Amino acid sequence: MILDGKAPTGPIETSWDRHRFDMKLVNPANKRKFKILVVGTGLAGGAAAATLGELGYNVEAFCYQDSPRRAHSIAAQGGINAAKNYPSDGDSIYRLFYDTVKGGDFRAREADVWRLAQVSNNIIDQCVAQGVPFARDYAGYLDNRSFGGAQVSRTFYARGQTGQQLLLGAYSALSRQIKNKTVKMFARREMLDLVVVDGVAKGITCRNLITGEIESYWGDAVILATGGFVNVFYLSTNAMGCSATAIWKATKKGAYMANPCYTQIHPTCIPQHGDKQSKLTLMSESLRNDGRVWVPKRAEDCGKHPNQIAEEDRDYYLERKYPSFGNLAPRDIASRAAKEQCDDGRGVGDTKRGVYLDFQAAIDRVGQPLIQQRYGNLFDMYEKITDENGYERPMRIYPAPHYSMGGLWVDYHCMSNIPGLFVLGEANFSVHGANRLGASALMQGLADGYFVIPYTIAQYMASITPGQIKEDHPEFKKSAEEVKGQIDKMLSIKGKKTVGELHRELGSVMWEDVGMARSDASLKHALQRIPEIRDEFWNNVNVTGTAGELNQQLENAGRLADFLEFAEMMTKDALHREESCGGHFRTEHQTEDGEAMRDDENFCYAAAWEFKGVDNEPELHKEPLKFENVKLAVRSYK
Ligand SMILES: Cc1cc2nc3c(=O)[nH]c(=O)nc-3n(C[C@H](O)[C@H](O)[C@H](O)COP(=O)(O)OP(=O)(O)OC[C@H]3O[C@@H](n4cnc5c(N)ncnc54)[C@H](O)[C@@H]3O)c2cc1C
């Protein structure tokens, strides 16, 4: 099927404004008649729930943490983009739009990216009004720094804690609505199914993580803002609870999964240390503003203390290969370049899977106090984890799974192909194409939540009658029974392997075969291994405890069960896409100097997969992508 993204036509500069005006409104008295379920209260869901509550809708919001305050968005360090052009360095909405389309390797929908760039400026105004303590320059204006893939400074930041500060802003707005009773908050609830009645999303089934009870909730619309899925690799920079569960359950109910093979591997993480590790730590990309990346020129120097390697014996490979962007090359490019150096035998550290990020030149230039002021908490964090002082010797970094550009397919209204099911933030496939530039995920989450969904959901609400289907509909009972059945099955296996062991096995296959570089052979190998691990899970997993209590083993087992199905779709997507673009690097499709080689003639589309059962082939639907404003061109950062 050819999918229609429903993007407005006509001049891009006015596309969102014209569309906003053309959409239907719901009058304030009628808004009170509708109930909206918002699953996820990170930046995207928290912003959406607060705004929809303020508008007068009845909102019920859900998260699995004990408070929205703990959503994974809190971990974001580096910053959030906006086209304010405060430093007067040539930025504009058009340039942010251009950089994002190019950065995504021409695999995103132009109109959505334009809208994102346009509303980016509103986000900063709103967050400042909420009291977010962005860093300021000498004159008192908001300060900016640069991130990869851009030659301007457009990233607003609050030290290395931008996500935390933005989340506090959204959380305050949400708390205000909770107090005003327009939002009812259900913490410690995990959505385990989507309830679809006659093809329309009408509710969710959750597990109360404290009591184990299975609960049903009805709504006139359901919004999923449940974050990303890169924990499919087991080790990643994401919080341990991040999973594909919500979007995968929606896929099993008919929502299309778009571009699952586009995952971002972030170049600046602390290298893995040992096999028992369960999480990787990111060092923000903002460090590449001042840090220079290098490896020794000669493999025999790799064991030496870095400060004893002379300047002329160092290879500042990003500056050498990409002179225009240097250390600020985009993430996919910087990650692959680091892997290349290590594969070439010039990696550093115990495992030889590391490159240096060196601040000496910046310290000599501006002094340690200024570097400390800019990134102090990141240096502290690095020292706590590695016991090395990043001011005195270069840090060691290596790429790690970080972000999912793929997710549920949505149209310009952020609505999936299931009417009434909307998807926001990292959970949808939307604006990043095949690669996300730094500081644009926070921008997307808040754009979707504060400035897009309040308009687009009204268009849907105006077309339906509120409160027609409630929890007494048989579909709710059926869904609850299915969820209970799966839980009982997992608890009854009583096998020999822990959930963690099986997740590590899946993660290792995904990293080796579907990770930074994939080939026809590696993907076929993964497609053979994933069903074997899945089979072992359903026959040999040991989930201790019971269903009627707080049971994190059971929670993790459910998430792994979903990853074991989702991983297969992700791998099939990577196998079908016979080109390299952004974070999807097929070794068969590269230029002579090792850069990604796109095939616009055959693959200039979003791939949206329809699930057809665990052992059946998913069906591919395509949304062709048109580039009318940014010319399709080879993406070069040289
Ligand atoms: C270490 C790190 C640093 C980062 N730094 C930056 C940065 O500097 N700039 C930038 O732009 N981006 C950054 N990112 C990316 C960015 O933080 C995320 O993409 C973004 O915060 C995701 O927001 P979200 O609202 O979509 O999801 P999340 O914040 O992940 O929120 C998901 C919500 O969904 C809930 N949920 C999930 N599944 C279920 C379920 N089944 N049932 C009920 N609730 C559920 C959770 O409880 C949570 O409330 C960083 C990411 C990481 C990991």
With tokens 């799966």, the residue in question is 486
CA–CA separation, 383 and 362 (whole Å): 19
What percent of the chain is predicted at pLDDT more than 90? 91
613 sits in the region (left: phi over 0; alpha: psi -120 to 50; else beta) called left
Strand, helix or coil for residue 510: helix
Tell me the pLDDT tens digit for each residue of 138-177: 999 999 998 878 889 999 999 889 999 999 999 999 999 9
Per the CB < 8 A criterion, the answer to whether 105 and 84 are in contact is no
| DSSP code of residue 105 | T
CA–CA separation, 156 and 86 (whole Å): 10
Ligand 1 atom, smallest distance to 41 CA: 49
pLDDT of residue 286: 83
Tell me the pLDDT tens digit for each residue of 48-78: 999 999 999 999 999 999 999 999 999 998 8
Q: With residue 184 as reference, give the H or E element that holds it.
A: strand 183-186
Annotated active-site residue in 107, 159, 189, 331: 331
**Nearest-CA neighbor of 469 among 101, 37, 41?**
37
Residue nearest to atom 24 of ligand 1 (CA): 227
Residues 6+ apart with CB under 8 A from 134: 124, 127, 128, 142, 143, 156, 157, 158, 165
545 vs 64, 213, 552, 553, CA distance in Å? 19, 15, 9, 8
Distance 40 CA to ligand 1 centre (A): 9
Ligand 1 close to Cβ of residue 282 (< 6 A): yes
Tell me the pLDDT tens digit for each residue of 231-246: 999 999 999 999 999 9
Distance in Å from the first CA to the final CA of the chain: 38
Per the CB < 8 A criterion, the answer to whether 499 and 543 are in contact is yes
**Nearest-CA neighbor of 326 among 365, 361, 298?**
361
Tell me the pLDDT tens digit for each residue of 173-193: 999 999 999 999 999 999 999
Ligand 1 close to Cβ of residue 449 (< 6 A): no
Give strand pairing partners of 605.
624
Number of H helices, E strands in the chain: 18, 19
What percent of the chain is predicted at pLDDT more than 70? 100
Q: Outline where DSSP puts E strands in 386-426.
A: 395-404, 407-408, 421-423
Distance 362 CA to ligand 1 centre (A): 31
Confidence grade of residue 32 (pLDDT, cut at 50, 70, 90): very high
CA–CA separation, 568 and 527 (whole Å): 6
Calculate the average pLDDT of the chain. Answer: 96
Tokens coding 479: 């869904």
Distance 192 CA to ligand 1 centre (A): 18
Tell me the pLDDT tens digit for each residue of 428-483: 998 999 999 999 999 999 999 999 999 999 999 999 999 999 999 999 999 999 99
Distance 281 CA to ligand 1 centre (A): 15
Distance 225 CA to ligand 1 centre (A): 9
In the predicted model, is pLDDT for residue 90 greater than 80?
yes
Tell me the pLDDT tens digit for each residue of 508-555: 999 999 999 999 999 999 999 999 999 999 999 999 999 999 999 999
Per the CB < 8 A criterion, the answer to whether 269 and 237 are in contact is yes
pLDDT of residue 134: 97
With the most atoms of ligand 1 within 8 angstroms of its CB, the residue from 37, 70, 73, 262 to mutate is 73
CA–CA separation, 38 and 41 (whole Å): 8
Residue type, 66: D
Tokens coding 27: 């009058």
Tell me the pLDDT tens digit for each residue of 269-314: 999 988 788 889 998 888 988 999 999 999 999 999 999 999 999 9
pLDDT of residue 186: 98
Per the CB < 8 A criterion, the answer to whether 434 and 104 are in contact is yes
Average pLDDT over residues 208-217: 98
Q: Please provide the DSSP assignment of 325-354 as one string.
A: TGGG--HHHHHHHHHHHIIIII--STTS--
Does residue 331 carry a catalytic annotation? yes
Tokens coding 145: 């720094």
Average pLDDT over residues 27-46: 97
Tokens coding 176: 């205000």
Ligand 1 close to Cβ of residue 79 (< 6 A): yes
Per the CB < 8 A criterion, the answer to whether 460 and 28 are in contact is no
Ligand 1 close to Cβ of residue 428 (< 6 A): no
pLDDT of residue 380: 95
Ligand 1 close to Cβ of residue 224 (< 6 A): no
In the predicted model, is pLDDT for residue 125 greater than 80?
yes
pLDDT of residue 173: 98
pLDDT of residue 78: 87
Ligand 1 close to Cβ of residue 245 (< 6 A): yes
Tell me the pLDDT tens digit for each residue of 341-393: 999 999 999 989 999 999 999 999 999 999 998 889 889 999 999 999 999 99
**Nearest-CA neighbor of 628 among 258, 114, 22?**
114
In the predicted model, is pLDDT for residue 95 greater than 90?
yes
pLDDT of residue 478: 98
Beta carbons within 10 angstroms of residue 96's beta carbon: 28
In the predicted model, is pLDDT for residue 637 greater than 80?
no
Tell me the pLDDT tens digit for each residue of 322-346: 998 899 888 889 999 998 999 999 9
Q: With residue 162 as reference, give the H or E element that holds it.
A: helix 162-179
